[in-house]
Structure 1
């Protein structure tokens, strides 16, 4: 097996994880909105809608679910960071008095 066949994890620019990992809050909200618009597109059977709408709804639901999970994790992470910062501030106040 040649070196080019082996995955190099220490290369510059290599980011392990799924494509949605770096979306952030606004990217996730945009993904949810895009999924909702795509769902409306399928519902009204506008041009480009597949013959079997179940497959389109499945794809739309995956996009919306990824957006919801990403925005939930992002907001939960922010909440935990704020709680840790408040706890650290309270510990500093307790040591000074």
Structure 2
């Protein structure tokens, strides 16, 4: 997720009845301050969301966790794309938890 154009895409994400979900990324980073852009099917603004990723002290120190609320559409056809290229991070886990 270091280079421009890199991304992780989750498809078939269940948005339940639609609404808010908590997206959490577990990562490692030697960079002091990286960021990911997140695009989600239910984003009413169409502008996406951003996750700030403070450094964890090394590329194999998977102690970082960044979370934010995102919007999902009802049903199981949601797509979430996490784009890199704004500093670097190695991702080990992405979770999506419905809040509504």
Given the two structures, how large is their TM-score scaled by the length of structure 2?
0.17
Given the two structures, how large is their TM-score scaled by the length of structure 1?
0.17
Choose between structure 1 and 2 for higher RCO, CA contacts under 8 A separated by at least 6 residues. 2
Larger Rg: 1
